[in-house]
Structure 1
Amino acid sequence: MNILLKSAKIVCPENKELHLKKRDILIKKGIIEKIGAAVEAPANTKVVEKDNLHVSLGWFDSSVSFGEPGFEERETIANGLFTAGKSGFTDIVLNPNTNPVPDTSSDVVFLKERGIGKATKIYPLGTLTKNSDGVDLAELYDMKNAGAVAFYDFKKQVSNPNLLKIALLYAQNFDGLVYSFPQDGDIKGKGVAHEGEVSTKLGLKGIPALSEELQIARDLFILEYTGGKLHIPTISSGGSVKLIAEAKKKGLDVTCSVAIHNLFFSDETLTSFDTHFKVSPPLRTKSDCKTLIKGVKNGTIDFVTTDHIPMDIEHKRVEFDNAKSGSLGLESAFGSLNTIFELEETIVFLTKGRSRFQIVPPALKEGSKACLTLFNPDGEYTFEAKNILSTSKNSMFVGSTLKGKVYGVINNGQSTL
């Protein structure tokens, strides 16, 4: 596959020579062969010319769910990877949100093999415990050798503190990364929305920020005792940002992420009782949103994620209390972030995070493998159902005004242009 990108504005802050310069980029057999002001197209080369064409290193997402195996009606791996590629993502960390869950090395191998030859690469997570039941540790070492980049019981708290202690100690033997979902289930109880003024007015059972912050505080105490590497996915409260900032000042090896929808929306959107806005952790207050955005900007929050969770209509078109949590996020990721942040910030947030998962970051230079995302950062539009490429259609961003358009990716010798 030979491709020539014409007059592409490069957004790559780490490459000062090329950053914000317009260049032609010639890609031959998946390798960046030449970057120049005017590059001639060799024979049998696809020339790509797009309106206001911009290019950056390929984007990375640390929290994506599909459905296969077990929930193929929500999303297959093939269509999920197609959606990710068209949305600008060249690399995704795949959540263990399947049936059965990936708790053995053979499960991890299956997931990796399903992604072979695609423009978007899969980096699977294995579960932390067998069957994600929170009792016995899964085959962490074997799964790491098979390609699992970390270990996570998806959206489930590690309720047994001793189990987290043992996991952090054991994983140090092979430099493993342990996840802990930030929510105390006992305090959450039957809550379905952030506990506050909005939930009280609407009569919805509340989930206090305390449920998240107490869990994080406990986990950080354990991490300080054991050492090791801890990742806290999708925090949602301002108090959590402060706790993690303090832990980092102590030198603890902890990272965290935030879902884009927790930056973009507050709990005030729940007045319509639209179940697309039911997520876990829940949307919180505007004050929390502001603190989270500040945490992303100052680096306390290590990376943003779509927290993309396809969910079939049967689990969303029900009463708010009974609906399952989760929203799509891949298709709206760039447009929403580009609305909140400046372009250069947005690209930094979309490209950082690989090293935490021991994924080799790409480079934008001659001789490197092409791992590129193509986009137009300008132009506002209303996100509609027609913009959704996923099999499921449960996006809370439908009706939102977003900014910018993704053209696709070039990666792994493939293209979604």
Structure 2
Amino acid sequence: MNVLIKSATIIDSKSDFHNQSVDILIEKGIIANIAPTIKNPNDYKEITLDNLHVSQGWFDSSVSFGEPGYEERETIANGLKTAAFSGFTAVILNANSNPVIDSFADISLVKAKSQNHAVSLYPIGALTKGGLGENMAELFDMSQAGAVAFYDYQKPIENPNLMKIALQYASNFEGLIMAFPQESRISRSGVMNEHISSTRLGLKGNPALAEELQIARDLFLLEYTGGKLHIPTISTEKSVSLIREAKKKKLNVTCSVAIHNLYFTDDALSTFNTNFKVLPAIRTESDVNELINGLKDGTIDMVTSDHNPIDIEHKKVEFDHAKYGTIGLESAFGALQTLFTTKKTVDILTKGKQRFGIEPNTISVGEKANLSLFNPNETYTFNKTHITSTSKNAIFEGSELKGKVYGVIANNKVILK
């Protein structure tokens, strides 16, 4: 793949060309030259786009595609195309398929299906067999096949001894354990944040306490085992402070937050739109403000779209019966841009790779081209025409967003809308 990018502003604080408008020559997938003007004697394909900005390739630490078993929601091929059109060059795939990804063969299968795509897919293996929370899966075998972490997606491990043993066992091969932050005996059948809004709407509440108790328990276990823990998608003010204190103790813990938990409050559920039925729940303004503060001070390590396609049959039903989840890849950049500067947004979208053993890249001569292409200034109302996913359960539908993604250049491929 040979291509010449014309007049692109580089947003990469680790690059010598940060904030400069330059041409970028890419030959056989490698950045061959960066300069104010580059001639094109070999008649390579030229990319010239309005207000073009280029950054390191973006990363998402939590996506679900459905395949195998739920192809009507999303296939791996279409999911990776969606990720590319949304500016992502690397995604972590959750194990919530049917069957659950819990073996060497399962990891090998999804890796094989992701070959020859611009977007790199890194699979998570289930922490327990079948994702049932009862018996630990073959973690080491899955790590040998390429699993980057172990997690029963959105399912808490109720047995503390099982979590303790998993943290201890995975330490033998530097395995990363992920623990969903919810005490299910407290959350029970709650479908939204337990607050004045849930009372007003007559919906069962899922209290912040359920998340915070589980995090406190898992941090105590981590302190005991000395393992390696990642807590995905925290959502409450107290959760931020718990993890902040754990980091002060030098515990090996990281965490993420879903973009929609930074953007919406539980007041948004007043229309009973099931696209807002997500896990963890959308919380209060106080929670949102502290999550943003935690992101700014480094307590929260990364932001995820938590992209989770759900078919219409499981979303266009009464709120109590709808499945949890929203798609989020297509709206991720635009939503973050409404909250942060372009530089901060790019910083957020490129953080977290090393936690999963993925080497970061820079925009420099001699480096592999791993780039996201975008226009940070275009504003629009997000609607179904912006959705590439097979499923359309978008929490951001109708929201005013800022920033247009053009596509990616990665793995020796150019993918543009």
TM-score (norm 2): 0.99
Q: Matched residues in 1 for 2:362 and 2:29: separation?
A: 13
CA contact (8 A) 1:2 1:44 kept: no
Distance in structure 1 (CA, Å) of the matches to 2:43 and 2:108 = 36
State the alpha-carbon separation in 1 of the partners of residues 326 and 43 from structure 2: 41
Which aligned pairs between 1:177-216 and structure 2 lie closer than 5 A?
Answer: 177-216=176-215
CA distance in 2, matches of 1:385, 1:297: 32
Contact 2:181–2:231 (CA under 8 A) maintained in structure 1: yes
Task: Tell me the percent identity.
Answer: 60
What amino acid maps onto 1:4 in structure 2?
Answer: L
Look up the SS of the partner of 1:416 in the other structure: strand
Structure 1 SS opposite 2:330 = coil
More displaced 10-residue stretch of structure 1: 201-210 or 39-48 = 39-48
SS at match of 1:321: helix
Aligned structure 1 segments of 4 or more residues deviating by more than 2 angstroms: none
Distance 2:60 2:196 in 1: 33
Q: Distance in 2 between matches of 1:162 and 1:112?
A: 31
For 2:211 and 2:333, locate their aligned partners in 1 and report how far apart those are by CA, in whole Å.
27
Alignment of 1:341-380 (within 5 A): 341-380=340-379
Taking only aligned residues, the RMSD between alpha carbons, in angstroms, comes to 0.6
Match in the other structure for 2:404: 405
Q: How far does residue 42 in structure 1 lie from its aligned partner after superposition? A: 3.6
Secondary structure of the equivalent of 1:239? Answer: helix
Following TM superposition, by how much is the alpha carbon of 1:43 offset from its aligned partner in structure 2, in angstroms?
2.1
- 1:360 is displaced (CA, Å) by 1.0
Q: Residue 3 of structure 1 aligns with which residue?
A: 3
Question: Hey, what does 2:143 align to over in structure 1?
Answer: 144
Change (3 A) 1:42 1:127: farther
Say if 2:98 is the partner of 1:93.
no
Partner of 1:35: 34
- For the Cα contact (< 8 Å) 2:12–2:362, is it kept in 1? no
Aligned positions of 1:171-250 closer than 5 A: 171-250=170-249
SS of residue in 1 equivalent to 2:34: strand
Say which SS state the counterpart of residue 332 (structure 1) adopts: helix
Note the C-alpha offset of 1:131: 0.5
Matched, 1:340 2:344: no
Cα distance, 1:136 vs structure 2: 1.1
User: Structure 1 residue 44: deviation in Å?
Assistant: 4.2
Aligned residue pairs, count = 416
Q: Distance in 1 between matches of 2:169 and 2:41?
A: 54
2:70 matched residue in structure 1: 71
Whole-angstrom CA distance in 1 between matches of 2:67 and 2:305: 19
CA distance in 1, matches of 2:198, 2:121: 38
Shift of 1:40: 1.1
CA distance in 2, matches of 1:402, 1:36: 32
The one-letter code sitting in structure 1 at the alignment partner of 2:94 is: N
Task: Quote the Cα distance in structure 1 between the aligned partners of 2:59 and 2:46.
Answer: 26
In 1: Cα distance, 2:66 partner to 2:40 partner = 41
Secondary structure of the 1:8 match is strand
Q: Give the conservation status (yes or no) of the 8 Å contact 1:157–1:184.
A: yes
User: Could you list the runs of 5+ residues in structure 1 that have no partner in the other structure?
Assistant: none
- Counterpart in 1 of 2:14? 14
Task: Note if 1:294 corresponds to 2:281.
Answer: no
Q: Is the 8 A contact 2:14 2:362 kept in 1?
A: no
Give me the whole-angstrom Cα distance separating, in 2, the residues matched to 1:189 and 1:164.
20
Q: Distance in 1 between matches of 2:331 and 2:41?
A: 36
